[in-house]
Structure 1
Amino acid sequence: MTVYFHEEDLPADVLGAGAIAIDTETMGLVTPRDRLCLVQISDGGKDEHLVRFGPDSSYDAPNLKAILADPDRVKLYHFARFDLAAIEYYLGVMAAPVFCTKIASKLVRTYTDRHGLKNLVDELLNENLSKHQQSSDWGGPVLSEAQRDYAASDVRYLHRLREELEKRLEREGRSEMAQACFDFLPTRARLDIAGWPEHDIFSHA
């Protein structure tokens, strides 16, 4: 297992074919205010790639953008709604089609309200995931080894989680419902950016 660190773009031809796991780190949770600092990506093999963007970045990352925008590659996320918004706002591409492990978990693990990535990795994969660096400063001039390992771990398990969750979605007859939710996520992310982050536009209110 190797974590590769890159500045401003992903090198060409470092990923294998097929679905890719994606995560982001930002300066906070308000997309237009809190800049995108890091994009993590994995093809499900033994390596993870981290692409860092500086405070004055133009976000001109042609190799990374080409992969994210590829309509033939499924993108795996945990809480895709946030990552999709950050990627589109700063990189200018919609990184779809989507499989979101958080949504899948909520559809099949209805016996619990614990749908965090750490919970899924623990229950479904029987592995421990540390979240100690979750709220650290991702915009600093140097990322520590602990930060890099934490960032890489956020994409390290998504391919395996997808396999387990797809089995449960099929078992419970909710695969079609899940796919409909995944297909709506790009629009949900755009609603967040446009100013409707929490309001349910489908409600009577």
Structure 2
Amino acid sequence: MKPTIHYLTTAAAIAEAAAHFATLPRIGIDLEFDDMRYRYGRHLALVQVFDGREVYLIDPLPLEPHMAEGLEPLFKVLRDPAVAKVFHSCKSDILLLDELFGVHCRNIVDTSVQFTMLAAEDNNISLGRLISSEMGFEVDKGEQKSNWLKRPLTEAQKEYAANDVLYLFELTDKLTARLTELNRVHWAEQENQALEDVRYGRDDLRPWTRNATKFKITPDELPLYRELYKLREKLAKEIDRPPYHVISNDKLAELARHPITTANQLRAANGLHPELKRAPYAAQFLDITNVDHDPEPPLPPEQRRFPFRRRLHGPAAARAEARETLLLALKTHLATDHGPVMANMVLSNRIIAEIIEQGADAVLRPWQQQLISHTADNHGVDYGSVRAPFA
């Protein structure tokens, strides 16, 4: 039997529903949002809530330009630690809530985290596949990439959105039972507690370095790539279109390798948004491609990873390598005792690099430290030597 689906479009209706949610021990929740797919930036498009019996689809778009105010009763529930919020793979959702509204969700239960603690496989599991594996049936995921900012929503979109929360209670209960059998419930609780501290990073001073196509260019071409990237962002924001609508990532790398330097070349170029060929952007584009640009300065020390093989020499390098060797030995023992999935989860290459620099006490959760310490004792490895920061 299909649940009742309430479609809420007014601040009054949202406030009434939120007052109901505030009385519950838990709610299932998910967000639909546009992330540089149809518009510039990230935009909340829909909030889905399940109360255990019925689904509420909360449409924030009719609330504009007072979206935050209209959603505040719901945000109050999200901040309330008395109400558990059951998500699946919530990191993108909580980053969006922080970025757009400064909302920090409390008492999070993430079914993806719970499944990960089972150490059944390496990769994060999708909601559809988790429903299939735990509940034995398929749900339609055909609307996953649809335009959630377009109105009116179709019935197929509403059904898809409802399915994203409808099974969360059953899933978390099944996963909790499995974790209880393995004595790992507290592991998942620690990981979910850590999600409360996830915050949107507003200090990315070099966003172009996160673009995968930067690996297609040489260091000498990076300064031009950087300036073209900035121009692309400027125009994309002005016309409210995703940056790839202005210049694709591959085209951006191509322009850094083979610059367009004349007005005739610019007019004849393919793969560029028409606005780039008109004033004032045409002149700005040619100004960028016809001058030399300052090279990328080195990152400040606090933003660098710990490439000890390049930064350390002599006895210091030997000590760092000894820490790495010990951690790799521990990883091998973890794989023997608990399987390779658990070993990669607890001592991934990234985590090993962080422990070498910062020490295990600063990097690892208590459950990870307990597991590694027990493994080290069983195999005669001196775990204590990597608990403190590198010195």
> Cα gap change, 1:129/1:103 in structure 2, threshold over 3 Å: closer, same or farther?
same
Is 1:187 equivalent to 2:197 in the alignment? yes
Corresponding residue for residue 21 of structure 1: 28
- Give the drift of 1:90: 2.6
1:44 to 52, 77, 87: 52
- Give the drift of 1:141: 2.3
Corresponding residue for residue 260 of structure 2: none
Corresponding residue for residue 42 of structure 2: 34
> Cα gap change, 1:88/1:149 in structure 2, threshold over 3 Å: closer, same or farther?
same
> Cα gap change, 1:194/1:50 in structure 2, threshold over 3 Å: closer, same or farther?
farther
Deviations 1:17-56 (A, max 9, x none): 21101100111279x92111111111111x1001112284
Give yes or no for contact 2:42–2:96 (8 Å, CA) kept in 1. no
> Cα gap change, 1:8/1:138 in structure 2, threshold over 3 Å: closer, same or farther?
farther
> Cα gap change, 1:193/1:148 in structure 2, threshold over 3 Å: closer, same or farther?
farther
> Cα gap change, 1:29/1:48 in structure 2, threshold over 3 Å: closer, same or farther?
farther
Give yes or no for contact 2:112–2:124 (8 Å, CA) kept in 1. no
- Give the drift of 1:143: 0.6
Give yes or no for contact 2:96–2:200 (8 Å, CA) kept in 1. no
> Cα gap change, 1:193/1:84 in structure 2, threshold over 3 Å: closer, same or farther?
farther
Q: Please give the alpha-carbon distance, in whole angstroms, between the structure 2 residues aligned to 1:192 and 1:100.
A: 21
Q: Please give the alpha-carbon distance, in whole angstroms, between the structure 2 residues aligned to 1:138 and 1:187.
A: 28
> Cα gap change, 1:109/1:123 in structure 2, threshold over 3 Å: closer, same or farther?
farther
Kindly report which structure 2 residues correspond to 1:120-135, keeping only aligned pairs within 5 A, or say none. Answer: 120-135=130-145
Kindly report which structure 2 residues correspond to 1:1-205, keeping only aligned pairs within 5 A, or say none. Answer: 1-7=3-9, 9=11, 10-12=14-16, 13-15=19-21, 17-28=24-35, 33-45=41-53, 47-54=54-61, 56-58=64-66, 59-60=68-69, 61-111=71-121, 113=123, 115-188=125-198, 190-192=199-201, 195=204, 203=354
SS at match of 1:110: coil
Greater C-alpha radius of gyration? 2
Compute the TM-score of the two structures, normalised by the length of structure 2: 0.47
Corresponding residue for residue 253 of structure 2: none
Compute the TM-score of the two structures, normalised by the length of structure 1: 0.86
Q: Please give the alpha-carbon distance, in whole angstroms, between the structure 2 residues aligned to 1:159 and 1:73.
A: 13
The structure in which a higher percent of residues are strand is 1
Q: Which moved more, 1:4-13 or 1:125-134?
A: 4-13
Give yes or no for contact 1:75–1:98 (8 Å, CA) kept in 2. yes
The structure in which a higher percent of residues are helix is 2
* One-letter code aligned to 2:52: G
> Cα gap change, 1:106/1:29 in structure 2, threshold over 3 Å: closer, same or farther?
farther
Q: Give the fraction of aligned pairs with identical amino acids, expressed as a percent.
A: 25
* One-letter code aligned to 1:6: L
SS at match of 2:147: coil
Q: Please give the alpha-carbon distance, in whole angstroms, between the structure 2 residues aligned to 1:23 and 1:194.
A: 27
Q: Please give the alpha-carbon distance, in whole angstroms, between the structure 1 residues aligned to 2:82 and 2:204.
A: 30
Question: Does 1 or 2 have the higher relative contact order (CA < 8 Å, sep 6+)?
Answer: 1
Give yes or no for contact 1:18–1:43 (8 Å, CA) kept in 2. no
* One-letter code aligned to 1:2: T
* One-letter code aligned to 2:191: C
> Cα gap change, 1:57/1:50 in structure 2, threshold over 3 Å: closer, same or farther?
farther
SS at match of 2:42: coil
Q: Please give the alpha-carbon distance, in whole angstroms, between the structure 2 residues aligned to 1:95 and 1:152.
A: 21
| Number of residue pairs aligned between Structure 1 and Structure 2 | 202
> Cα gap change, 1:38/1:4 in structure 2, threshold over 3 Å: closer, same or farther?
same
Alignment root-mean-square deviation, CA:
2.8
Q: Please give the alpha-carbon distance, in whole angstroms, between the structure 2 residues aligned to 1:131 and 1:194.
A: 35
Alignment gaps of 5+ in structure 2: 211-304, 306-349, 358-391
Give yes or no for contact 1:8–1:54 (8 Å, CA) kept in 2. no
- Give the drift of 1:112: 6.4
- Give the drift of 1:167: 0.8
- Give the drift of 1:180: 0.8
